[in-house]
């Protein structure tokens, strides 16, 4: 460690730092934690919904499939293609991912010090329920998208 420090001192010894008069960052206004959380959740929702994919590929919002009677029926999931999606499919999956994230946030809040027992149980039940619903819904979405997956 001392050898590395000596090398840095020898290499950067002749270099002088410039004397700059920089103003500090204006800290009068700071966004609230709720605003930051909302912005993060919105960006998480948009990214997991596949907004970039939707803008580049421009898929339809829903698809149509011919049923056994020869009529076209709307479908929300693009079956058989793991790397393709309809817009509603991406939005519904992103909503489920967002609910799962909120469930983990609720579970984290249940672990905070100084939380009353009633509030702790509420956070635990809410967080566990949201994570379980998200898990089951995403498994259902995958079984619709790829029939026979995980069987």
Q: Which residue has the tokens 């898929």?
A: 59
- Does residue 45 have a pLDDT over 80? yes
- Does residue 42 have a pLDDT over 90? yes
Mean pLDDT of 55-68: 94
Percent of the chain with pLDDT over 90: 74
**What span, in angstroms and rounded, lies between the C-alpha atoms of 134 and 127?**
11
Please, what is the angle between helix 117-145 and helix 87-110, to 10°?
160
- Does residue 37 have a pLDDT over 80? yes
Q: Is the pLDDT higher at 112 or at 9?
A: 112
92-125: burial string, b at 16+ Cβ within 10 Å, e else = bbbebbbebbbbebbbebbeeeeeeeeeeeebee
**What span, in angstroms and rounded, lies between the C-alpha atoms of 138 and 47?**
17
| Tens-place pLDDT, residues 67-89 | 999 999 999 999 988 899 999 99
Mean pLDDT of all residues in the chain?
A: 91
| Tens-place pLDDT, residues 106-135 | 999 999 999 999 999 999 999 999 999 999
**What span, in angstroms and rounded, lies between the C-alpha atoms of 119 and 42?**
26
């Amino acid at each position: 460690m001392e050898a590395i420090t000596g090398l840095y001192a020898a290499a950067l010894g002749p270099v002088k730092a410039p004397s700059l008069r920089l103003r500090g960052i204006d800290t009068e206004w700071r966004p609230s934690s709720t605003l930051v959380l909302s912005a993060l959740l919105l960006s998480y929702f948009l990214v997991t919904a596949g907004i970039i994919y939707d803008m580049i590929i421009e898929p339809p919002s829903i698809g149509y499939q011919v049923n056994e009677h020869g009529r076209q029926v709307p479908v929300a999931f693009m079956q058989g293609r793991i790397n393709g999606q309809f817009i509603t499919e991406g939005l519904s999956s992103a909503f489920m991912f967002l609910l799962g994230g909120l469930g983990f946030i609720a579970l984290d809040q249940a672990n905070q010090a100084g939380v009353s027992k009633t509030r702790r149980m509420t956070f635990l039940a809410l967080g566990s329920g949201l994570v379980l619903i998200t898990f089951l819904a995403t498994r259902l979405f995958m079984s619709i998208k790829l029939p026979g997956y995980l069987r």
